[in-house]
């Protein structure tokens, strides 16, 4: 499913915008897999404004979505923008894999 969604939508900014709006409208009980698949399709397709908006979804995301959001933010924002977000998140969350994102292992 992920490969199909990614191949269909990752090359077009119009479809990226549609998928981003869909992600924003997901209810909390819609399931983590749907949100995670949508987040993985955003690899290298979101602009800076969308990434900053995505940052606001960290508190409501489950742990898998949080990891993917942090990965997107790390790859899309400047280091000076990402570091405060990461430090704030790291203070409040205890997840060993989060450190791997900071070190480029994930």
Q: List Cα–Cα distances, 51 to 31, 44, 76, 94, 96, in angstroms.
A: 21, 10, 7, 23, 23
Contacts of 15 (CB under 8 A, 6+ apart): 8, 9
Q: List Cα–Cα distances, 67 to 21, 39, 49, 60, 100, in angstroms.
A: 20, 10, 19, 13, 10
Q: Return per-residue pLDDT of the chain as tens, 106 residues.
A: 556 666 655 557 778 888 888 888 887 777 667 888 888 888 888 899 999 999 999 888 888 888 899 999 999 999 999 999 988 888 888 787 877 777 765 4
C-alpha neighbours within 13 Å on the C-beta side of residue 15: 11
């Amino acid at each position: 499913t992920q490969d199909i969604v990614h191949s269909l939508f990752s090359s077009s900014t119009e479809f990226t915008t549609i998928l981003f709006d869909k992600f924003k409208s997901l209810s909390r009980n819609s399931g983590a897999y749907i949100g995670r698949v949508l987040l993985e399709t955003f690899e290298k397709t979101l602009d800076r404004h969308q990434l900053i908006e995505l940052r606001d979804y960290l508190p409501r995301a489950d742990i898998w979505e949080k990891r993917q959001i942090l990965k997107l933010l790390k790859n899309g924002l400047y280091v000076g923008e990402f570091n405060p977000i990461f430090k704030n998140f790291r203070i409040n969350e205890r997840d060993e894999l989060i450190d791997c994102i900071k070190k480029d292992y994930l």
